Structure 1
Amino acid sequence: MIRRRSTPWIHKWSRLLIAAIAGLGILTTGYLTIEKLTGGSAACVAQAGVKGCNDVLSSPWATVFGQPLALFGLLAYTSMAIFALAPLVLKAGENNSRKQLENLTWWLLLVGAIAMSVFSGYLMYLLAFQIKALCPYCISSALFSLSFLVLTIIGRDWQDFGQIFFTAVIVGMVTLIVTLYAYAGVNTSTGSSTTGQPEKISFFPKQDPNPEFGWKITTTSGQAEIELARHLVKIGAKEYVAYWCPHCHEQKLIFGKEAYQIINDNIKIECAADSPKAKPELCQAAKIQGFPTWIINGKTYNGVQNLDELAKISGYTGPTNFKYFK
C-alpha cells in the first residue's frame, strides 16, 4: 500500500497568511496615503530629537512621479492580496482552471514579493543614511515585503529553484533601475556647498488663485530646503502671506512643495480676509504692510527671501545646497 505524502501546513495556509499580511499593508498605506493627500500628520511616537514618520512623509522621497509613495504601496499590497486569494474563490469542481490560476498567481506573487523586497531595501537605505529617521510604518512595510518573499518561496512545492533565482535576478535588476530612475531628480547631497547651478525662479500667474492655497507648487524640495524649513519652525519664525500674492508664491517655489508643506503647516499666517484660512487679526497685530513678510528672531524682513539669506538671518547651520533662488 502506497502511503500518500501529507501536505505541509505552510502549503495549506501560505496564501491566507500572504493575504492577511497584505491586508495589514493595505490599512497602513491607505492611512498614510490619506494623511499625505490631505496634508495631515501621521500618528507616530518618536523620541525627542529623533526624526519620525512625518519627517519621512514630508521628505522628497515620499513623492514619486507626483504622487504619494504610499499610494503605490497601497496598489502593491492590493495586488498581492488579489493574487493570494484569487484561486481560493473558484469552486472545487473547477480543478483545471483553479490549478492554472494557482500556477499563474504563484509566479505573480513571486515577482511582486521580489520587487517589493528590493524596493523596501532601498527605502531602508534612504531611511538610515539619507533621511536619518525612525519610521515604524516604513520598517513594518519592509518586514511585510520580506514576509511575502519568504512565504512565497516556502509556501508551495517549487520544482525548479533555479527559475526562482533567475527570476529574482531579473526582477531585482529591473526594480532597482526603475527605483533609481524615479528618484533621479531628488537632491540627496548633504554637503554644505552647492554642487550644481541653482535654478532662478520667476512666476507670472496665468489663472486666478484658489483662496485656500493660491497656486499649486510645481517645484520639489531637496534635503537642504526641508532642513531649513524645520529650523525656521523650531526657532518660531513666522511668514505672513496672502493667497493672491504672486511674490508669496515665488517664495513657495523657492522652498519647493515638500519643504513649504512644513512652513504651511506650522508657521505660515494667511492675511487675505477672503481666504478660509485667514487670520487677519494676527496680521494686524504684527503690523504687516506687504507680502510676503518674515518675522525671524523679532526682526521683520519684507519681500521674497532667498534661502541662503533666510539661513543666515535665522542662524541655520545645516546643508545649504539650495536648488532655487529669486
Structure 2
Amino acid sequence: MSPISKTKGIRVLTLMAAMAGTLCTAAATQPWDQPIPEPATESTAQTIKLAEQLNTVGARFFGAHWCPACKEQMKLFGKQAGANLNYVECGLPDKYPDQLRQCRDENIRSIPTWTRPGSTRLQGVQSINTLERWSGLRPQPLN
C-alpha cells in the first residue's frame, strides 16, 4: 500500500469515527423543555433506565422551578434522563394552569413529591436507589 493510500484510509476512518460520535450524541440528546432549570450534570445509564421505568409505571415528579430541593432531585437524574421525566410544575399557575390543576388534584402539599398509581407517595429528595425500588426496577430488600 502506498503512503498516500494509507494516509487517505486513515483520514476516512477518522472522519467516519467522528461522524458516528456526532450522530450518537445527537440521537441521545433532546432539547430541554421542562419548566425547572436544566441540570448541569450528565445522565448515567442507570438514571436513563430509571426515568424510562418511572414513565412506564406512570410516576409523576411534582415540583416548582424555584425549589432548591426540586433542583437537587433533577440534578440526580442529569440532563438526558431529566428531560424524559414526567415533571409537573406546581409553581407557575399562569403559565401552566393544567399542571397546577394536577398538583391540586393530587393534593400536593410539599415538594418535591413523587406519585404513581396504586402506590404510596414519596416526599422530599429521593435517592436513585429508593426510586429504583419504588418503581419496581429493583426488588425490595427482604427484612
Query: TM-score, normalization: structure 2?
Result: 0.74
Return the alpha-carbon distance in structure 2 between the equivalents of residues 248 and 275 of structure 1: 20
Return the alpha-carbon distance in structure 1 between the equivalents of residues 116 and 84 of structure 2: 16
- Give CA deviations for 1:180-206 in whole Å, capped at 9, x if unaligned: 8xx9xxxxxxxxxxxxxxxxxxxxxxx
Q: Which runs of 4+ in 1 moved over 6 A?
A: 177-180
- Runs of at least 5 residues in structure 2 that lack an aligned partner in the other structure: 25-33
Q: Secondary structure at the match of 1:239?
A: strand
Q: 2:82 aligns with which of 256, 260, 278?
A: 260
Q: 1:269 aligns with which of 88, 98, 101?
A: 88
> Aligned letter for 1:216?
E
The aligned runs of 1:161-240 (5 Å cut-off) are 163-173=4-14, 176=17, 213-240=35-62
Shift of 1:316: 0.4
For the 8 Å contact 1:293–1:303, the answer to whether it is kept is yes
In 2 relative to 1, CA 215–273 (structure 1 residues): closer, same or farther, beyond 3 Å? closer
For the 8 Å contact 2:36–2:89, the answer to whether it is kept is no
Shift of 1:213: 2.3
RCO higher in 1 or 2 (8 Å CA, sep ≥ 6)?
A: 2
Q: Report the counterpart of residue 241 of structure 1 in structure 2.
A: 63
Q: Secondary structure at the match of 2:61?
A: strand
Shift of 1:289: 0.6
> Aligned letter for 1:257?
K
Shift of 1:269: 1.2
Identical aligned residues as a percent: 27
Q: Secondary structure at the match of 2:121?
A: strand
Q: 1:310 aligns with which of 131, 135, 138?
A: 131
**CA radius of gyration, larger in:** 1
When you count helix as a share of all residues, which structure comes out higher? 1
- Give CA deviations for 1:80-139 in whole Å, capped at 9, x if unaligned: xxxxxxxxxxxxxxxxxxxxxxxxxxxxxxxxxxxxxxxxxxxxxxxxxxxxxxxxxxxx
Select between 163-172 and 214-223 the one with higher mean Cα deviation: 163-172
Q: Secondary structure at the match of 2:80?
A: helix
Aligned residues: 126
For the 8 Å contact 2:63–2:111, the answer to whether it is kept is yes
Shift of 1:230: 0.5
For the 8 Å contact 2:39–2:79, the answer to whether it is kept is yes
For the 8 Å contact 2:50–2:132, the answer to whether it is kept is yes
The aligned runs of 1:1-326 (5 Å cut-off) are 163-173=4-14, 176=17, 213-263=35-85, 267-274=86-93, 276-278=95-97, 279-298=99-118, 299-317=120-138
Q: Report the counterpart of residue 77 of structure 1 in structure 2.
A: none
Query: TM-score, normalization: structure 1?
Result: 0.34
Cα RMSD, aligned residues only? 3.0
In 2 relative to 1, CA 163–228 (structure 1 residues): closer, same or farther, beyond 3 Å? same
Return the alpha-carbon distance in structure 2 between the equivalents of residues 166 and 308 of structure 1: 50
